[in-house]
A = this chain, B = another copy of it.
Amino acid sequence: MDKDIKEIEDSINDWHPGSSVDCVILGYENQKLKVLLLQLEFEELWMLPGGMIHKDEDLKDAAYRVLRERTGLDSIYLKQFHTFGHKSRPNIANIAASEKGKGFSTYLKSNYPQYYNWMNRRYITTGYFALVDISKVECVKKQINEKHEWIAINNLPELIMDHAKIIYKCLDFIRMQLNYLPISTNLLPNEFTMKDLQKLYESFLNEKLERSNFQRKMLKLGVFKRLKKKMAGAPNKAPYLYCFNEDKYNELVKKGIGIL
């Protein structure tokens, strides 16, 4: 960790002041929607991966950089959803309501006062979300003593600052735009069952869908290839596996897929 902090401290004036990005990196695993969260040394609380913006860097590129640093992936579906500019966005000195969240801040203050001061300002942060196939991700630690984990959306731990609010806003945004977002191709692995797809939609919509009607509606879109392979293992009929015709799917998404 200390090496990275040193690096940032040395380059403080290369950053655009007062602005940052935070990334809600979403994935889908075991039929659950998950988000990639970090936990720093000295911290009990979790946080979103985020960062500052270079003076000569596009806002969007800063978000891509954060993603690349974390997931190792290069071409990812990434989209801005909201900018958070509350005047009392708790800064690093006031990172959490409870005493829990003070560890990192205290450590910084005594060891890296200049970095502490820099971090301890007000940031207006822009939220981006990424849709990621977890099975293709190789998570990268950026700081030596950092933990990262894919955590189910419906079972979030306590988060620093307003990061929980950022996640919920992100989910709201996705729900509102569901028909125009390529969720399926980006979150699902190459081969998947109709049940996977249905559970994915249900996670976003927060409601149960009717199995048989869902299947027909999806198949009628004409963007699936049914594969001859089947899965096995359960005491019931084995489902087909499907894969996407991604080009057709992306065309559909532009016009708005009618799933509602």
Q: Which of A18, A59, A83, A177 has the most CB of B within 10 A?
A: A83
Tell me if A164 is interfacial: C-beta within 8 Å of chain B.
no
* Residue contact A60 to B80, C-beta cutoff 8 Å: no
Segment 149-190 of A: residues with Cβ below 8 Å from B:
176-177, 180
Tell me if A210 is interfacial: C-beta within 8 Å of chain B.
no
Tell me if A51 is interfacial: C-beta within 8 Å of chain B.
no
* Residue contact B55 to A83, C-beta cutoff 8 Å: no
Chain B residues whose CB sits within 8 angstroms of the CB of A59 once the complex forms: 83-86, 124
Tell me if A203 is interfacial: C-beta within 8 Å of chain B.
no
Looking at the assembled complex, report how far the CB atom of A181 sits from the nearest CB atom of chain B, in whole angstroms: 10
* Residue contact B56 to A87, C-beta cutoff 8 Å: yes
Tell me if A122 is interfacial: C-beta within 8 Å of chain B.
yes
Query: In the bound complex, how far is the Cα of B80 from the Cα of A84, in angstroms?
Result: 10
Query: In the bound complex, how far is the Cα of B85 from the Cα of A19, in angstroms?
Result: 10
Are A126 and B85 CB-contacts (below 8 A) given A176-B177, A176-B180? Answer: yes
Query: In the bound complex, how far is the Cα of B18 from the Cα of A200, in angstroms?
Result: 39
Chain B residues whose CB sits within 8 angstroms of the CB of A57 once the complex forms: 87
Tell me if A53 is interfacial: C-beta within 8 Å of chain B.
yes
Chain B residue nearest to A177 (CB atoms) is B176
Tell me if A82 is interfacial: C-beta within 8 Å of chain B.
yes
* Residue contact B87 to A58, C-beta cutoff 8 Å: yes
Looking at the assembled complex, report how far the CB atom of A55 sits from the nearest CB atom of chain B, in whole angstroms: 7
Tell me if A90 is interfacial: C-beta within 8 Å of chain B.
no
Are A82 and B80 CB-contacts (below 8 A) given A18-B16, A59-B124? Answer: yes
Query: In the bound complex, how far is the Cα of B180 from the Cα of A182, in angstroms?
Result: 20
Looking at the assembled complex, report how far the CB atom of A156 sits from the nearest CB atom of chain B, in whole angstroms: 24
Chain B residues whose CB sits within 8 angstroms of the CB of A180 once the complex forms: 176
Are A83 and B126 CB-contacts (below 8 A) given A176-B177, A177-B176? Answer: yes
Q: What 1/0 mask marks residues of chain A from 1 to 26 whose CB sits below 8 Å from any chain B CB?
A: 00000000000000011110000000
Query: In the bound complex, how far is the Cα of B93 from the Cα of A252, in angstroms?
Result: 42
Taking A61-B87, A62-B85, A176-B177 as known contacts, 9 extra A-B pairs with beta carbons closer than 8 A to each other, sorted by chain A number, are A17-B17, A18-B18, A18-B19, A19-B85, A19-B124, A57-B87, A59-B84, A59-B124, A80-B82
Return the 4 tightest CB-CB contacts between A and B, nearest first.
A59-B85, A17-B17, A83-B83, A58-B87
